[in-house]
Structures are given as C-alpha cells and as structure tokens.
Amino acid sequence: MPSQRHSLSLAQEFPFGKRLPDLQFLFIPDNLTFLCGQDTSRGVIYIAIVPVFFNCEGVPMSENLIQRTASAYAYPLLIKNLFLAPVVDNPEQEIVYRDQHRYTYTEFKKRVCKLANALTSIGVKAGDTVAVMDWDSHRYLECFYAVPMLGAVLHTVNIRLSPEQILYTVDHAEDDFILVNEEFLPLLEQIKGRIDTVRGYVLLQDGGNEVESGIEFVGEYEALLAEAATEYTFSDFDENTRATTFYTTGTTGLPKGVYFSHRQLVLHTLGTMSALGTVVNQGRFHQRDVYMPITPMFHVHAWGLPYVATALGVKQVYPGKYAPETLLRLIEKENVTFSHCVPTILHLLMSHPLFTKIDLSNWKVMIGGAALPRAMCKAAMELGIDIFTGYGMSETCPVLTIAHVTEDGLSEDEEITIRCKTGRPLPLVQLRIVDEEMNDVPPDGESVGEIVVRAPWLTQGYLKDQRNSENLWKHGYMHTGDVAWQDGNRYIKITDRIKDVIKIGGEWISSLEVEDLLAGYPGVAEVAVIGVPDAKWGERPLALVVAKEGADVSSKALRQHIRGFVDKGILPKEVVTLTVQFVEAIDKTSVGKINKKLLREKYGKAAAEKQ
C-alpha cells in the first residue's frame, strides 16, 4: 500500500484509537483501489477508495501519482478561493446597487463575513439549503459567496414561476431558510402554509418601512448584518460539495432541479474568464470593464458572470428589478461596458426612446438563451455596440461556446454572420455534433446533428430524478437537445431545438432560420415560427408576428419575402406552406425565452380545426 498521504475527495480520516469501519465485506471493482496510511503530525489514520487508471498497455498508472508531503496544502477548488483575489488586487473598486447602495470590495468582504456570521447565528449550518427570492442586488452577490462558503447550498428561486411551481421547488430542494424580498411576500404568503421544510425566514428590504405580513421573520437582512462580526474563518471542505441548486423553467412538465459543486463553479469561472479575457479585442472582458448583468441572478448564476467579475475585481452594477429606462440610465451613469441578456430584453431596450439618445459605443453585450437575429445584430452594431453570441443551458452552468470575431478585414455581412453563430467551444469543453447512432457528422457547415458535450462544470444529473438524469447523460455525454452544424473553423450554429424542428413531408425545416429571415423584414418587431398539424404535409410552419407600432406589413408581403429565399435556394421549397398570423404579443418563459410549447398548444389546435 502507498504510504504517502493522498488528497482525495473520497478519503476519510479517523483519530488514533478510534475503531475503523469494517471493510472486509466491501466490494471494490477492478478499476478502484484501497489506500490507507497515517499522519502522525495530525494524529489521524486515513483510508480512501480511489479510481485506478491504466495506460494503453494495460499497466496501472497509480505508480505515477505524485507524492504529497504530509504538510502540503492540497488547495481545494472552493468558492472562497475566488472570493479572496479581488480584495487583494483592487480593494477600492466599487459595487453598486441601483442608486441606493455603493461600497468598495473591502466593504464587500466584510459584508460577506457578516452575512456568514448572521446566517450561522440563526441556525444555518453546513448541508442546509438557503433559498433566495430577490431581484438582482448586492445582497444576492453576497449570498453567492457566503452561503456556499459555509458549506450550505444556495437555492436561487425563480421568482417568475407560478406560486405552485415555487412551492414545488422549495419543497423539492428541501429549503431550510428563505431570504425573501418584501415585494415577494404576497406570493410567499399564498403557499407558506404548505411549505414543510423551512425553519426560518429573513426579510430583504430596500427601505426601512414596516412590513405587514403573516410570516414570522427571524430578522431583517441589514439588521442582522449590523449585529454581526466582520471576520469569519471559512473552513476547507471537499471541493465536490454541492454549492448551488436551481430549477429549469419547466416548459415540459414540472421544473427539474440542477446542481453544481464548488469545483464546477470555480472551473466554469476560470474557463469563461480565459475565453472572454484572451481575445485580442472584440467581446473581451477585462479588469477595466464595468459589469452589469441583465440576466436574472436566479437563472444559472446570471450565467456565472458575477463570479468572473468578482474574481477580476471589476466595478459591478446591479440593477434590481428590470425596467428599460432604469437599465439604460445605469448604463449611461455608471459607464457600463459589459452585459449579457436574452434577445427579448435587448428588444425591450432597443424599443425605448432613450436607447438611441445615449452613448452605447463602449457597450459589449453577450446574447444567449435564444438565437441572435441578424437584424438585431446589425441595428446594435450601427450604434457601436459590440454584440455577440454565447451559448449554454441550465444544465451546463451555463457557458459552452462564445462567438468571437477573430479575423480582420471582414465585410459587415460576414462579421454579422459570425456574431450570430452559436460560437466556438470554451477551453475544457468537448463538444460533438452527432447523429442518432452517436456518430460525428462532418464539419462541413451543412450536416446537422445533436450537440452532445462533456465539460468539468456540467450538472451530474437532475435532483432526485434518476430516469431523466440517465436520459440527459445517455452514452456518457450530456445531450443538449439542440440541432446544429459545425464549419471548418469550429464555429457551431444551432438550427433548432429537436422538439421545435418543423417536419414537412420528409423535409426538416429550421424554425430559427425562418424566424431570422422574417425578423429582418421592415415593420416586424418580433416573430416566432412553430409547426402546426397539417392533413397533407404532417406539419406546416405558422409564423406568429408582432408588428412594430404604425408599421404597414401584411401576411402576403411576408410570404412573398420568404418565397424569395426559396427561389434563391436558401430555404427548401416546402417552406411555401407558411402561413402568417399577427398577434399582440408572443408568450415567453419566466426567463424571457419564446415559449414554443405554449404557442403550439395555443395555436396548433386552432390551425388544425381550420383545415
């Protein structure tokens, strides 16, 4: 048996004199081995079961493992180690919450420690789950660190779900404490009597007004912090400890819980930082930037960018509840240079009169959650905005690819094409596009297949849902459900979700491609294309269109517009079965994505009855 001390996630330590567990009946597969040893300086015996890897000749590689000095520090990849860097590098940099709070990173460090002490004082301990219901705020950022650094799990509650769905997620996650903004008290009061696991509630307020509620609070956030000490020694623990959990938006059945460890969040931070920070110019995120998320902090950790921003030590601006004028005023006042959002949010900003009146020439914005329309990209670029695409999903922590422009001398049209692609994989992301037999399709810019992926920051399953977890990880790769192609330069382009592809006869039509072409027609504000039942073809495309105010646009004109692309060979001839319906608004999910499942339910049946 090796005698050196191994730093292993499965290791267990026992004090001298304590009876060791009975191991004689323990079954150990061929690819695992049992290690034991002692550390006299610490008075412990340790045991571990670890994987054994073999080289190409079948020889175990365990003999080549590094030897670790007994007193060497293993440095686990914990969120606390991201937390320390900006305080050292840039202690006087600012964190801003709307027009209400402004403090330095030095104060941020003290507040995180105060929050850890406050949570401990009300009974939070390692292994507990602490839920947060808040708008994007400095408080939320503090929770991003303090809660998991205690060894507890941070549950970022999607406050846009229905009360019944929120009840489901709170119970399913087995939340022990809830930190709730006073604006969400009416919502919480609807379900409080049916919540079984919660032991205490903490009130979050922007002002000091007295709150009338049937909920009994263990304290108010700022009052608890005011009484807490400014120092806290965060312990080391296993880097594979669960740090966060949250729930998918539930367009198919009940919301599904995903979860991420400290190790995964640290590696995602470093991977995203390396991808965004090492490009020469376009889309670069660096230490002189001013960061403001326009993706909710409850949704995939605001794409993980608050961790990146804090590790870089940049100025951060948190806007609270999203309102177009508030967001634009903050961009102007605080000189925001880097944001991220879904196309729906950017559309709301672009529709506001202030959008064209302020200087946005230093603003970089990464678009995700849905395809970036060419027309939106072009309009943003004309104002000097550095707009580009990022891709991921709730299950992937989330960033997998980024569409950076790395070539010089491109035409405007060529540059827009690249910015609207799904992008290239980040470092450590192994991304494949495969057919139904898991064979790679050619990277020819035409052949499509499903995106499957491996990376060190992917959720390892759905919480308490073995069946869906196995489907997600079929064949050892995470299945995204996205249909895409890859070109010779490794750029990915998603053409549709598998469930959203429109099947006309034997031809598969990309709803996203048709949407993009319709969105470029003058007078079109928003568009969604879905497949509806058709007696002859099986399915046909239906375009749901929101026209710009005062615009003169007709169904006939839009169909002729699409026919032009059919005549040029850009779209298959089956697309001429397209019908157009004008609507007041297009249904969205709780995170601003077009809800095609709901659209098919609303409009598919009516379309079938008209046949």
Catalytic annotation, residues: 248, 395, 503, 508
Q: What is the CA radius of gyration of the chain?
A: 26
| DSSP-assigned letter for residue 63 | G
What distance in Å separates the CA atoms of residue 380 and residue 389, rounded to the nearest whole number?
A: 13
Which residues are registered as beta bridge partners of 246? 258
Q: At a CB cut-off of 8 Å and minimum separation 6, what does 430 contact?
A: 453, 454, 455
- Spatial CA neighbour of 386 closest among 339, 350, 446: 339
Question: Phi and psi at residue 481, in whole multiples of 5°?
Answer: 80, 5
Q: How far apart are CA 541 and CA 530, in angstroms?
A: 6
Half-sphere exposure of residue 344, counting CA atoms within 13 Å on the CB side? 19
Q: What is the 3-state secondary structure (H, E, C) of 355-403?
A: HHCCCCCCCEEEECCCCCCHHHHHHHHHCCCEEEEEEECHHHCCEEEEC
Would you say 438 and 413 are in contact if contact means Cβ atoms under 8 Å apart? no
Sheet with strand 579-582: strands edge to edge: 524-534, 538-547, 579-582
What DSSP character marks residue 56?
A: T
Cis upstream peptide for 398 (omega within 30°): yes
The answer to whether the beta carbons of residues 490 and 425 sit under 8 Å apart is: yes
The CA distances from residue 148 to 115, 151, 245, 300, 356, in Å, are: 12, 5, 11, 15, 41
- Token couple for 290: 């001013």
For residue 277, CA distances in Å to 181, 195, 271, 288, 436 come to 34, 44, 10, 11, 36
Q: Round to whole Å and give the CA distance between 94 and 314.
A: 8
Structure tokens at 514: 């048709």
Q: Is 90 exposed, middle or buried (0-12, 13-18, 19+ CB in 10 A)?
A: middle
Question: DSSP states of 185-205 as a string?
Answer: HHHHHHHGGG--S--EEEEE-
| Beta carbons of 293 and 336 less than 8 angstroms apart | no
